[in-house]
Amino acid sequence: MERTDCLIVGAGPVGLATACLLRHHGIDCRLVEKLEEPSVLTKAAGIWSRTTEVFDSLGIAQRFIEAGSLAHGGNIFGEGRRLVHLDLTAVDSPFNFLLMLPQHETERLLAEHLEQLGGKVERGRALTSLQQDATGVDCVLGESKLRASFVVGCDGAHSTVRKQLGLAFEGRPEDDMWMVGDVVIRGPLPEDEIFVYLAEEGTMALFPLGNHHYRVAAIAGPDHDPDSQAPTPEAFESAILKRGPAGLNVSQAKNLWYFRIHERQVPQYQVGRVFLMGDAAHIHSPMGGQGMNTGIQDAFNLAWKLALVIRGQAGEKLLESYNIERHPVAEKVIRGTALGTHAMTLKSTVGQHIRNRVMGLVSKLPLFQSRVPRVAAEIDIHYRNSPLSVEPHSLPHGWLFH
């Protein structure tokens, strides 16, 4: 039987980040992925400041910056005028921007770094079952078996690991159907800013990917075909022209699909020696681009703890802090993105008008301008309620050190 210190299931950005972080700490780990080939879809396209800081701790932040494009601001338009402008350069981070990079590029760069660390993605290997005891986890991967000291499930919203643990994925779907895709847009749009349009036909967001390429997400109109998996390129491009500003030229729509937002979270991130993170543990509205970033923060939180335990430098009780620290973070993300999504998708004309008035006034407040970018960039997260945290004044003199 094959053996490893840690088996990571799922080679999306979160699984790849987990493998890189564990290898960085000198831990033997295996990363398996059921898909035979890497994805070529844009999917998550925004890397916030805190995630770039994680990449910097691995020595690879510059590779990502050079591969992507930088967004320095965000805008919300409604009723023919700009309601909100956010300055992302005010974020207190060395990486005070939103790094726009298609997910397949993020995965490629992480996979390359993993290989430099001596690891690899083992493709075409699907986990079918697992069973754990006091010292490890026996995993079935197709025709082979593997025993791991620990297992980390990063295998997405339909997680096999989560199902094997018997954990409920509690939550609900939203009513609106959304459409998403990649297009080329030329016109009066600065390519270092994000644009959201609260149009009568439905909300639409434009995310610049560089060289006039954009990722676009929009509420599907009432005339969309409920039996179709994706809008036609013509319908997608037409929706952008109707909802966006005048003077746009839209072409080359591709990678199109419909999706419905789900807000779900498992009740716990750890069952014995098995852990969940990323979409396997929590899913929510893409509002604010928090999903992949939250998952990579999960990985950063757990990896160093696993490394200490595997090396025998800490007891297994340390691992309990992962759920204690990270579960409330995703709860807050789910609440915040749901609130934002509901505000952006009001159906009542009166409600929309009130929202626009309030949004325009509130966005001018200094607290709003400082707080919202910090929350989005994920640099304001703290673990003051963690068992690992104590107030400085409660420590004996001389015990507090860096």
Using CA atoms, how far apart are residues 206 and 194, in angstroms rounded to an integer? 6
pLDDT band at 225 (very low <50, low <70, confident <90, very high): confident
Specify the pLDDT at position 1.
85
Mean pLDDT score across all residues of the chain: 94
User: Comparing C-alpha atoms, which of 253, 239, 262, 255 is closest to residue 338?
Assistant: 262
pLDDT band at 28 (very low <50, low <70, confident <90, very high): very high
393 pLDDT above the threshold of 70: no
Q: What is the DSSP letter of 157?
A: T
Level-2 CATH architecture, domain 2-71+94-171+263-340: 3-Layer(bba) Sandwich (3.50)
Contact partners, residue 336, CB within 8 Å, separation at least 6? 288, 290, 375
Using CA atoms, how far apart are residues 33 and 280, in angstroms rounded to an integer? 14
Using CA atoms, how far apart are residues 17 and 298, in angstroms rounded to an integer? 10
Per DSSP, the three-state class of 28 is coil
Say which amino acid occupies 36. E
Average pLDDT over residues 185-211: 95
Average pLDDT over residues 72-101: 97
**138-147, long-range: CB within 8 Å, 24+ apart, which pairs?**
138/1, 139/7, 141/32, 144/2, 145/1, 145/2, 146/1, 146/2, 146/3, 146/4, 146/7, 146/30, 147/1, 147/2, 147/3, 147/4
Tokens of 239: 């929706």
Tokens of 143: 């025709």
Concatenating the DSSP letter of every residue in 204-215 gives EEEEEEETTEEE
pLDDT band at 396 (very low <50, low <70, confident <90, very high): low
Average pLDDT over residues 78-99: 96
Residues 61 and 338 sit within 8 Å (Cβ to Cβ): no
Residues 322 and 302 sit within 8 Å (Cβ to Cβ): yes
CB count, 10 Å around CB of 395?
11
Read off the pLDDT of residues 145-196 as tens digits, 9 standing for 90 and up.
Answer: 999 999 999 999 999 999 999 999 999 999 899 999 999 999 999 999 999 9
Angle at 76 between CA 234 and CA 204, to 5 degrees: 20
Residues pairing with 380 in the sheet: none
83 pLDDT above the threshold of 60: yes
Between 394 and 246, whose confidence is greater?
Answer: 246
**219-222, long-range: CB within 8 Å, 24+ apart, which pairs?**
219/176, 219/177, 219/178, 219/179, 219/345, 220/176, 220/177, 220/178, 220/179, 220/258
Contact partners, residue 172, CB within 8 Å, separation at least 6? 262, 263, 264
Say which amino acid occupies 134. A
CB count, 10 Å around CB of 133?
10
Query: What percent of the chain shows pLDDT beyond 70?
Result: 97
Task: Indicate the pTM of the whole model.
Answer: 0.94
Specify the pLDDT at position 283.
97
Using CA atoms, how far apart are residues 291 and 302, in angstroms rounded to an integer? 17
Specify the pLDDT at position 399.
40
Tokens of 345: 């998708």
Residue ranges per domain, the chain?
2-71+94-171+263-340
Specify the pLDDT at position 40.
86
253 pLDDT above the threshold of 60: yes
pLDDT band at 42 (very low <50, low <70, confident <90, very high): confident
Read off the pLDDT of residues 275-294 as tens digits, 9 standing for 90 and up.
Answer: 999 999 999 999 889 999 99
390 pLDDT above the threshold of 80: no
Specify the pLDDT at position 398.
45
